[in-house]
Amino acid sequence: MKGSRRSAFTLIELLVVIAIIAILAAILFPVFAQARESARTISCLSNMKQLGLSWHMYAQDYDEVFPLSRSIGYPDPAGDCARHTNDGYTKITWKSLTQPYVKSWQLFRCPSNPNNDIQAEGSDIEAKISYGTNGVVMWGWNPLKMAAVNRPAETVMILESTWDCADLGDWVARVNDPPACQWGQGFNLHRGQKGIMNWAFFDGHAKAMKLPAVFARQGAVGDSYSLIGREERGGVENLEMTRNQGPNLCDFYK
């Protein structure tokens, strides 16, 4: 009895199939990675929205004064971003002040922040790195009242940070501040260079925007401002408003 003949792949056919699979993987893997990062970005945006609401709840309980970036320090710190150390120095930051309103330390951690497992500034070990206050508008121990914010819908309240400091300002990203670009990337970018950041604003909304758009000059000449909080006052520009800061950034932000 004549046996049946079995068909099989030739070496060339097998190599072609492997090549097709490799090409599909090269196409799809970056797409999957982008999809995951997009989901993380949305999660971080939701965190910031809730943190912004906690600020307003806090202000309603404290005579319309927002939480301080730093509220308690013993002894007097050597610098604004001094960490808790063994010398007995302790500090309470806005994260500890607003945590009772959100009741979750997880909200203070952005899933795509590379340093979200590192303790942030302050004595509370549950407070991790991911977010900071807008240091242009409020920093250190200076209180800020709700009525003092001139453009609440166009002024950043909370931003994404990779540093442990309670606040972060635009001075760490501008090329006209010589040491800024040497300090490293303080602002957290989603999707790498030319990526986006999430921003929470003083009116309670939060949205994703690119860094240059937040730093860029807005408004008419004589009454210009930026979303990071720089303003002309009485037609006199402060140093940071003398040029459009949108394109004036360290290379890793552009």
The larger pLDDT score, comparing residue 31 to residue 47, is at: 47
pLDDT mean over 81-99: 71
Q: What percent of the chain has pLDDT over 70?
A: 79
Give pLDDT tens digits for 192-212. Answer: 767 889 999 999 999 999 999
Q: Is the pLDDT of residue 100 over 90?
A: yes
Separation in Å, CA 46 to CA 39, 60, 88, 184, 192: 11, 22, 36, 27, 20
Strand order in the sheet with 167-168: 167-168, 131-134, 156-160, 197-201, 206-209
Q: Is the pLDDT of residue 147 over 90?
A: yes
Q: Is the pLDDT of residue 131 over 70?
A: yes
CA–CA dist 114, 130 (Å, integer): 9
pLDDT mean over 95-118: 93
pLDDT mean over 52-62: 96
Give pLDDT tens digits for 11-20. Answer: 777 777 777 7
Q: Are strands 131-134 and 156-160 parallel, antiparallel or unpaired?
A: antiparallel
Taken in order 43, 101, 144, 204, the sign of the CA dihedral is positive
Q: Is the pLDDT of residue 248 over 70?
A: yes
CA–CA dist 226, 204 (Å, integer): 18
pLDDT mean over 112-136: 91
Q: Is the pLDDT of residue 32 over 60?
A: no
Place of tokens 């709700």: 146
How high is the pLDDT of residue 38?
A: 72
The pTM of the full predicted model, rounded to 2 decimals, is 0.80
Place of tokens 């943190």: 51
How high is the pLDDT of residue 204?
A: 93
- Shortest CA distance to 118 belongs to which of 88, 144, 84? 84
- Shortest CA distance to 141 belongs to which of 79, 183, 189? 79
Q: Is the pLDDT of residue 95 over 80?
A: yes
Q: Is the pLDDT of residue 184 over 90?
A: no
Lowest average pLDDT, out of 64-68, 69-73, 115-119, 237-241, goes to 237-241
